[in-house]
Amino acid sequence: MTDEETVTGSGRGGGIGSGWSATKRRWARWRDRLRDRPRAEFGYRIVVAVVGLAVLGLGIVAIPYPGPGWAIVFIGLGILATEFEWARRWLAYARERYDTFMDWFGRQAKFVQILGGLLTALIVAVTLWLLGALDWSGELVGIEHPWLNSPIGVGD
């Protein structure tokens, strides 16, 4: 192994993160070659936009539910940020606002935190009701009440 390989971690066994660094360099070279082909780059940007917006949309829908809603939003913005400057700005802004809100929420009294949990549970219950899941699960255990039926006719 040469001195340069030792310093940069590009030799065999290369150290922690060297595989990731090599992958990033290969990706950067591929993107540079793609920029030399405007039509291919335009197609690539369209694919990134479609995939990024789909992931972002899924994340936005998932935000009020328990689980990784915000993580999915950040992943969608991250995908878009690989190609679009506006997405980089939105990602930075969203992360800042999320961190600020979660810090504020963590400092609140237990009553406020419990109220936030109850509001989340209410949103989940209403969604399950609208999608007919309450009626379906009630029927599984032999409970059939008309008020469990979805008002929009889903799941009947």
Measured distance CA(156)–CA(82) in Å, rounded = 43
Hey, what are 153's tokens? 């006719």
Measured distance CA(111)–CA(154) in Å, rounded = 35
Hey, what are 122's tokens? 């209410």
To 10 degrees, what angle do helices 18-35 and 38-62 make? 130
Q: What tens digit of pLDDT does each residue of 69-123 get?
A: 889 999 999 999 989 999 999 999 999 998 999 999 999 999 999 999 898 889 8
Q: What tens digit of pLDDT does each residue of 25-51 get?
A: 887 887 878 888 888 889 889 999 999
pLDDT, residue 140, reads 80
What's the pLDDT band for 23 if we cut at 50, 70, 90?
Answer: confident
